[in-house]
Amino acid sequence: MAAMQLHWDIFCRVIDNYGDIGVCWRLARQLAAEHGRRVRLWVDDPASLQPLCPAVDANVDGQLCSGVEIRHWSDTALFNRSAEVVIEAFACDLPAPYLEAMASANPKPCWINLEYLTAESWADGCHGIASPHPSLPLVKYFFFPGFSGACGGLLREKNLLGERDRTLSGTGGNNEIEISLFCYDTAPVGALIDSFAKMPKPVTCHVPPGKPLAAVSQYLGGAGPWRCGNASIRPTPFMPMDDYDRLLWRCDVNFVRGEDSFVRAQWAGKPFVWQIYRQDEDAHLVKLDAFLDLYCVGMDEKLETVVREMFLVWNTGGNIESAWANFIANYADIARHNSNWVNTQAALPDLASALVKFCTSKV
């Protein structure tokens, strides 16, 4: 069984919001469902997983859900064995007792540091690099998700795009514009809502709880729902992952943030606007430009200018009304480009499959 690398452990610390645990949960589910792996997901805050998967009981230390064993990663957690593949998500630092168990194992496990998604070109050269432990007989490999064949791909379940198309078949013809708004509280939400209110078509905007709804409530007052000119702004409950995917499929435009919703909006195939996580010294804007350099390939100069303006204004401030008007005016062309972009990304190996192949090569 060791050669098959049947047992996998994924370690996740919940730093902020649901992005880290969202990526780890999607990966764990897919490894179990599509690759037959026995996965333990170690998470330091099980309560963060419960909204994404309502079947999870946040008050127990161990449980089985969707074929994945979920374990509470606490200071008193006992590690009776190491897995054959160990994924340290986003440099979360493995506990010392678990590292000792890895060092004592024979053969040694395949140890992966799953990095954050980036479109920056340097990631291609760093993907798969080995890093020997300074004192233990262990080697860690850096694994980068990405948008090129030189990286590890994006999370994409085998039947995701087919299920999307079946769900959307027979829909359409609605005269309103449906929008999902998932953002940080630093986004220029008020100016965007004002732009929605001036649209010639009716607009319905779905706003999830947390920072998006807090930003809208601060601007409009009260708890909603709100009517602003031609726009209906509707608070929505927190959705489990699969339901959120369907919301993205249904909406005409998706405002997304961070990593998980960013990737899922791309698989939705609809025009989207990404707010990247803000970093010191505006390092996040370098990452934003790197993505746009890839994403805009194939656009004519006018369309690229429109898309770049919308993304940049949403992340840095500026004339939202003008950027939004240009974005919507070019909606059909952006939608056609998105379709080509999705096909290009779908032709690459998905992240889970790439991980399985990579780890097998290290046996």
Three-state SS at 40: strand
pLDDT of residue 281: 83
CA distances from 163 to 59, 150, 352, 362 (A): 33, 28, 18, 34
pLDDT of residue 17: 65
If asked whether residues 182 and 81 sit together in one domain, one would say: no
If asked whether residues 289 and 170 sit together in one domain, one would say: yes
Is 155 within 8 Å of 352 (Cβ atoms)? yes
If asked whether residues 220 and 142 sit together in one domain, one would say: no
Three-state SS at 4: helix
If asked whether residues 141 and 226 sit together in one domain, one would say: no
Number of domains in the chain: 2
Residue partners of 341: CB distance under 8 A and separation at least 6: 266, 295
pLDDT digits (tens, 9 = 90+) for 170-225: 776 678 999 999 999 999 999 999 999 999 999 999 999 999 999 999 999 999 99
The residue type of 325 is A
Domain that holds residue 209: 160-346
Is 294 within 8 Å of 287 (Cβ atoms)? no
CATH number reported for the structural domain that contains residue 274 in this entry: 3.40.50.2000
CA 105 to chain centroid: 33
CA 357 to chain centroid: 22
If asked whether residues 97 and 203 sit together in one domain, one would say: no
pLDDT of residue 3: 54
Three-state SS at 115: coil
If asked whether residues 201 and 148 sit together in one domain, one would say: no
- pLDDT higher than 80, residue 258: yes
Average pLDDT, the chain: 95
Give the residue-averaged pLDDT of 329-345.
Answer: 97
| Of the candidates 64, 65, 72, 69, the residue with the CA atom closest to the CA atom of residue 83 | 69
Residue appearing with tokens 């791309």: 266
User: What is the DSSP track for 195-257?
Assistant: HHHT-SS-EEEEE-TTHHHHHHHHHH-SSS-EEETTEEEEE-----HHHHHHHHHH-SEEEEE
If asked whether residues 21 and 127 sit together in one domain, one would say: yes
If asked whether residues 83 and 50 sit together in one domain, one would say: yes
| Of the candidates 328, 284, 352, the residue with the CA atom closest to the CA atom of residue 118 | 284
Cα–Cα distance measured from residue 197 to residue 179, given in angstroms and rounded to the nearest whole number: 13
User: What is the DSSP track for 121-132?
Assistant: THHHHHTT-EEE
pLDDT of residue 280: 86
Handedness of CA 244, 333, 147, 357 (dihedral sign): positive
Rounded to 10 degrees, the C-alpha dihedral 30/53/25/155 comes to 60
If asked whether residues 141 and 186 sit together in one domain, one would say: no
Residue appearing with tokens 């056609």: 336
If asked whether residues 138 and 98 sit together in one domain, one would say: yes
Is 318 within 8 Å of 348 (Cβ atoms)? no
If asked whether residues 149 and 44 sit together in one domain, one would say: yes
CATH number reported for the structural domain that contains residue 131 in this entry: 3.40.50
pLDDT digits (tens, 9 = 90+) for 270-307: 999 999 988 888 889 999 999 999 999 999 999 999 99
Please count the residues of the chain: 363
* Percentage with pLDDT > 70 across the chain: 98
Give the start-end residues of each E strand in 261-331: 272-275
Cα–Cα distance measured from residue 101 to residue 201, given in angstroms and rounded to the nearest whole number: 61
- Tokens at residue 308, please? 């770049």
Which residue numbers are catalytic?
A: 20, 259
Cα–Cα distance measured from residue 199 to residue 220, given in angstroms and rounded to the nearest whole number: 18
Strand partners, 71: 42, 62
Q: What is the phi/psi pair of residue 32, to 5°? A: -75, -45
pLDDT digits (tens, 9 = 90+) for 49-60: 999 999 999 899
If asked whether residues 279 and 334 sit together in one domain, one would say: yes
Question: pTM of this prediction?
Answer: 0.95
